[in-house]
Amino acid sequence: MSATRIDGKAFAARLRERVGEHALEFASLAGRKPGLAVVLVGEDPASQVYVGSKGKATVAANMESFEHRLPAETSEADLLALVERLNNDQAVDGILVQLPLPVHLDEQSIIASISPDKDVDGFHVINAGRLSVGQSGFVPCTPLGCMMLLTDRLGDLSGLEAVVIGRSNIVGKPMAQLLVDANATVTIAHSRTKDLPAVVKRADIVVAAVGRPEMIRKAWLKDGATVIDVGINRLPPEPGKEKGKLVGDVAFEEASEVASAITPVPGGVGPMTIAVLLRNTLVAAYRNAGFDAPEGL
Ligand code: NDP
């Protein structure tokens, strides 16, 4: 068997387009564009690239982008004061504080200071709680993007065996919750799981969010499994090359021989994250302005 390659890049492009169209409708209803504020503290090169691409994608989706780039030595009090200003700013629907923050800043306190109704990353404990009890809030972008790819591919997930490898608050745990809510039978595996290959072998759906290059092998997978690879790992550069290759947590080529469908890295889950961030911002805008959010996003 040769697996279908799940094209997250194309799916994300279509989602961004739909979001952009709804953003225009929102603007005609509300008399302003949806707005996303992104806060970057310090000069981490990867974060600078992410923030730049989020800003461009926001503008391309007919939304207002507010970028706040603060020096690495910014105090917690100053950062909290900025978040408070953004919480009270009617033009701002979504607030994202780019992580990781410099070590002198406490990430949990900063996330806790964001209004849950503007927490488009879905990291606030209120939104984690809403997800866990089935209330509408904001779901972290990466797992929600994975879920969109899965339901697009498989339709109804009822009764399917799903194994999520990884239990972080931003990927593994919310992913497992979404799968349970979709009536899958879910196992969460992690570094203490015994005989991980045997656990994975049961799965109709495998979501790998580990951060270990090509850890999941062909022999671990059930025939016909659907594999979502969240991992982004850079291999050491080959001789003469400046940068190493990007790979996922799954050995893509060999896994493709047994899976029925699999996301590539890059071009699978990665592009979904920004697209869902824009989707969440649009939903925040509708809710904050007192309208029902559009269906089917
Ligand atoms: P974390 O490091 O927070 O979590 C990793 C999880 O993997 C932990 O639960 C850990 O277990 C588990 N783990 C580590 N080693 C093993 C092992 N040998 N066997 C089984 N489980 C193991 O990572 P994140 O959840 O933040 O991210 C995971 C990956 O996804 C990373 O590669 C990251 O770059 C990528 N990512 C990609 C995104 C995208 O947009 N595509 C967005 C976010 C993340 P334990 O809890 O026991 O330590």
- pLDDT band for position 1 (cuts 50, 70, 90): low
| 141-269 CATH fold | Rossmann fold (3.40.50)
The superfamily in CATH containing domain 30-121 is Leucine Dehydrogenase, chain A, domain 1 (3.40.50.10860)
Q: Is the pLDDT of residue 141 over 80?
A: yes
216 ligand 1 Cβ < 6 A = no
4 Cα: distance to centroid of ligand 1 (angstroms): 24
Angle value at C-alpha 102, between 101 and 104, nearest 5 degrees: 115
pLDDT in tens, 248-263: 999 999 999 999 999 9
Measure 210 CA to ligand 1 centroid, in angstroms: 3
Closest CA to 54 of 42, 72, 41, 37: 37
Quickly list H helices, 61-156. Answer: 76-87, 107-113, 125-133, 141-154
* Domains 30-121 and 141-269 are alike in CATH topology: yes
* Percentage with pLDDT > 90 across the chain: 98
Sorted by where each begins, the domain ranges of the chain are 30-121, 141-269
Average pLDDT score over the chain: 97
For residue 212, pLDDT over 90 is answered with yes
User: Quick one: 27 exposed, middle or buried, by C-beta within 10 A (0-12, 13-18, 19+)?
Assistant: middle
What average pLDDT does range 261-283 have in this prediction? 98
Task: For residues 130-154, give the mean pLDDT.
Answer: 98
At 232, the pLDDT band (50, 70, 90 cuts) reads very high
The whole-angstrom separation of Cα 164 and Cα 157 is 14
Q: Ligand 1 in contact with 208 (CB < 6 A)?
A: no
> Would you place residue 165 in the very low, low, confident or very high pLDDT band (cuts 50, 70, 90)?
very high
Is the Cα torsion angle 45, 50, 54, 60 positive or negative in sign? positive
Quote the ligand 1 centre to 27 CA distance (angstroms). Answer: 38
Residue 72: CA count within 13 A, CB half-sphere? 9
Pair 34, 285: CB distance under 8 Å: yes
166-203 confidence digits (pLDDT tens): 999 999 999 999 999 999 999 999 999 999 999 999 99
Pocket probe for ligand 1: among 9, 190, 195, the residue whose CB has the most ligand atoms within 8 Å is 190
Q: Does position 6 have pLDDT exceeding 90, yes or no?
A: yes
pLDDT of residue 238 exceeding 80: yes
Q: Which residue's entry shows tokens 């990884």?
A: 166
pLDDT digits (tens, 9 = 90+) for 67-78: 999 999 999 999
Mean predicted confidence (pLDDT) in 71-93: 98
Residues 122, 139 contacting (CB under 8 angstroms): yes
Determine the pLDDT at residue 53.
95
**Ligand 1 pocket test target in 230, 234, 235, 276 with most atoms within 8 Å of CB:** 230
**Helix (H) or strand (E) run with residue 96 in it:** strand 94-97
Beta bridge partner(s), residue 95: 37
Residue 296: the pLDDT is 86
Pairing of strands 233-234, 246-247: antiparallel
List alpha helices for the chain, DSSP H.
Answer: 8-30, 45-60, 76-87, 107-113, 125-133, 141-154, 172-181, 196-201, 252-255, 270-288
**Are 213 and 194 contacting, i.e. CB atoms less than 8 angstroms apart?**
no
CA 171 – CA 167 distance, rounded (Å): 7
173 alpha-carbon distance from chain centroid: 12
- Residues 211-230 have a mean pLDDT of 98
